[in-house]
């Protein structure tokens, strides 16, 4: 088991350490932070081992902690949405930015995923003055 000493933002350091380890072995990250989830889903590449995110909150139904495969999340969302996650997360509010009042992450993600110019960049309209 490798040890890491945090020197920057804790979320960035945790995600960086997990991604570095995932180059060699499967990794489990125990965290509740959405910032870490977004960083991992955005940066985990196909040549890395999977990263499991372990929730420290126990389920009322099962009494067990939940775990989520970052690779499964990537496959569920698709490449395009994974690439948009940092923007969606920042616009919706995160540790370093305030969200736009009345507009939640679900609304932002839904509108981005339904926007044809986001899904198909060749359809973007360019205006020149």
Number of neighbouring beta carbons within 10 Å of residue 41: 24
> Higher model confidence: residue 38 or residue 1?
38
Q: Are strands 65-69 and 51-58 parallel, antiparallel or unpaired?
A: antiparallel
> Each residue of 78-111: b (16+ CB within 10 Å) or e?
eeebbebbbebbbbbbbeeeeeeeeeebeebbee
First to last CA, the chain: 58
User: For the residues 101-106, what does the mean pLDDT come to?
Assistant: 60
| pLDDT tens digits along 47-59 | 999 999 998 777 7
On average, the pLDDT of the chain sits at 76
Q: Could you give the dihedral angle defined by the CA atoms of residues 9, 54, 98 and 114, in that order, rounded to the nearest 10 degrees?
A: 120
| pLDDT tens digits along 39-82 | 999 999 999 999 999 987 777 777 777 889 999 999 998 888 88
User: For the residues 76-103, what does the mean pLDDT come to?
Assistant: 71
With both helix axes pointing from N to C terminus, report the angle between 70-77 and 79-92 in degrees, rounded to the nearest 10: 100
């Amino acid at each position: 088991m490798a040890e890491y000493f945090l020197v920057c933002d804790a979320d960035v350091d945790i995600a960086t350490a997990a991604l570095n380890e995932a180059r060699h072995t499967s990794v489990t990250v125990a965290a509740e932070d959405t910032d870490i989830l977004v960083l991992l889903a955005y940066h985990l590449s196909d040549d890395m081992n999977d990263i499991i995110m372990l929730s420290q909150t126990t389920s009322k139904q099962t009494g067990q902690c939940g775990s989520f495969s970052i690779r499964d999340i990537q496959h569920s969302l698709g490449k395009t949405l994974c690439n948009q996650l940092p923007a969606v997360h920042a616009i919706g509010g995160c540790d370093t930015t305030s969200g736009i009042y009345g507009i939640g992450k679900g609304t932002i993600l839904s509108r981005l995923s339904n926007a044809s110019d986001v899904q198909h960049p060749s359809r973007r309209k360019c205006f020149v003055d």
